[in-house]
Structure 1
Amino acid sequence: MLEIADLRLDYPEFSARYDLLVPAGALCALIGPSGGGKTTLLHAVAGFGERPTGTLRFGGRYLIGLAPAERPLSILFQDHNLFPHLTAEENVGLGIRPDLRLKAEDRARIAGALERVGLAGMQRRRPGELSGGQRQRVALARALVRDRPLMLLDEPFAALDPALRADMIALVDAVRRERGLTVVMSIHTPEDVVPIAELMAFVADGRVVAADRPDRLLDAAVHPELEPYR
């Protein structure tokens, strides 16, 4: 499981303290107001920014002190973070070999990942030749080929139209179930993940205010403060 206990970060303008347990193989959706600390939490788990204090473990392994590349995770941002001078194949290939010395079997894996996100035959296109949604799907393909047991997603599909967003979320869920991944995803449209998420956490003011099954967390009769997010 992912264990976050008394995880603290202090910035001049913002202080955060997180407690959250995500069972192994579960999909946990983070919801809450913009600026409430969802991205800060994901970055802390990934190893970006200031080093926190407290407990951060995945699968029993302590993560604090490990460089981002040493952590058993992949992260997908709202900003797809592609290199504009590289092709789609090369951008995805960075998830396998950062030196891009790709072998035939690597290229086959990349082609398969691109096909799975609906971009078959687009290996040679550069980001400038792709739409915003296509660029985000290239970034998702890169996360898929990394094949790490923990996947973090920071509003990755917010710019997609509802139908494509639903398709990409369904794909993430299918891959999670196939590979036994643990997924933590921040999202502003919680209704998209209610049918598939085992856990939902409301994050505000740098805290996990509440965490429960999605149907319970979004029940305004139980948590009136969540009514705007129903």
Structure 2
Amino acid sequence: MLRLENTVIRQGDFILAADMTLDQGQKYAVIGPSGAGKSTLLSAICGFIPLDQGRIIWDGRDITDAVPGARPMTMLFQDNNLFPHLTVAQNVGLGLRANLRLSAADNGRVKDALDRVGLSDHAGKRPGALSGGQQSRAALARVLVQARPLVLLDEPFAALGPALRNDMLDLMCDLASETKVTLIMVTHAPEDVRRIADQVIFVEGGIAQAPQPAGILLDNPPPELRDYLG
């Protein structure tokens, strides 16, 4: 269980407050207007942005001041963060060892992750030789190989076409269910929320609201959410 206790994130004149509990194994969609602070919320949870106030608690342990690598989570960005000079397998291996000095067991985990995302035949290729969907799969394999209990996704499939984005969302959901991880995903698309989310975190007006059931919230949105959805 992840708990944000009376947290305040401050960046210049921008302030975002959040107080919520996220349960393990749930899929959360983070939605709200552009500039509301959705990515800022994820960056603070991951430790890329320090808190101005409050605490972040993971399973009873205070991780407020923990460096990003020491937190029980990994983050997948929109640009996939693949290194063009490394092979697909090496890019995935970076999730295990920054120096790429992988043991036989490590290499086995890389192979398993590539198998699970359907890229076993592309392990020796460089990212430039892959399609956009294959690059997203490679980035997802790097997340898988880390085996962290929380996976944060900042619009990772926004650049893909609708059909391919849906394929990636379905793959991500299948893998999340299989590995029992918690997903927290920023998205602008209500259809993505309906497709993958159990709960919704609505960010607006300087507040990241506590999660609410996705179906109920989208079927009967409050006025501020109705204005956002259009």
Residue 154 (structure 2) aligns with:
154
Distance 2:126 2:205 in 1: 39
- Is the 1:86–1:126 contact (alpha carbons within 8 Å) kept by the matching residues of 2? yes
Q: Normalising by structure 2, what TM-score?
A: 0.91
Q: State how 1:114-125 maps to structure 2 within 5 Å.
A: 114-125=114-125
- Is the 1:6–1:55 contact (alpha carbons within 8 Å) kept by the matching residues of 2? yes
Residue 224 (structure 1) aligns with:
223
Q: CA deviation at 1:213?
A: 0.7
Q: CA deviation at 1:210?
A: 5.8
- Is the 1:63–1:71 contact (alpha carbons within 8 Å) kept by the matching residues of 2? yes
Asked if residue 24 in structure 1 is aligned to residue 24 in structure 2, the reply is yes
Q: Which residue identity lines up with residue 136 of structure 2 in the other structure?
A: Q
1:136–1:13: structure 2 CA closer, same or farther, 3 Å change rule?
farther
Q: CA deviation at 1:195?
A: 4.6
Residue 137 (structure 1) aligns with:
137
Residue 62 (structure 1) aligns with:
62
Q: Which residue identity lines up with residue 192 of structure 2 in the other structure?
A: D
- Is the 1:154–1:187 contact (alpha carbons within 8 Å) kept by the matching residues of 2? yes
Q: CA deviation at 1:93?
A: 0.3
Distance 1:48 1:138 in 2: 23
Q: CA deviation at 1:212?
A: 1.1
Alignment deviations for residues 5-47 of structure 1 (CA, whole Å, 9 cap, x no partner): 2211222231111122211211111011111111000000100
Q: State how 1:1-230 maps to structure 2 within 5 Å.
A: 1-209=1-209, 211-219=211-219, 221-227=220-226, 228-229=228-229
- Is the 1:52–1:64 contact (alpha carbons within 8 Å) kept by the matching residues of 2? no
Q: CA deviation at 1:132?
A: 2.9
Q: Normalising by structure 1, what TM-score?
A: 0.91
Moved more, 37-46 or 54-63: 54-63
Distance 1:76 1:38 in 2: 14
Bigger fraction of residues in helix: 2
Q: Which residue identity lines up with residue 164 of structure 1 in the other structure?
A: L
Q: Which residue identity lines up with residue 171 of structure 2 in the other structure?
A: L
Alignment deviations for residues 84-131 of structure 1 (CA, whole Å, 9 cap, x no partner): 211111010011222211233323322232232232311111122223
1:58–1:197: structure 2 CA closer, same or farther, 3 Å change rule?
same
Distance 2:128 2:221 in 1: 47
Moved more, 35-44 or 98-107: 98-107
Distance 1:82 1:52 in 2: 32
Percent same amino acid at aligned positions? 47
Distance 1:88 1:7 in 2: 38
Q: Which residue identity lines up with residue 9 of structure 1 in the other structure?
A: I
- Is the 1:157–1:168 contact (alpha carbons within 8 Å) kept by the matching residues of 2? yes
**Structure 2: where are the runs of 5+ without partners?**
none
SS of aligned partner of 2:143: helix
Q: Which residue identity lines up with residue 225 of structure 1 in the other structure?
A: E
User: What is the aligned-residue RMSD (CA, Å)?
Assistant: 1.8
**Structure 1: where are the runs of 5+ without partners?**
none
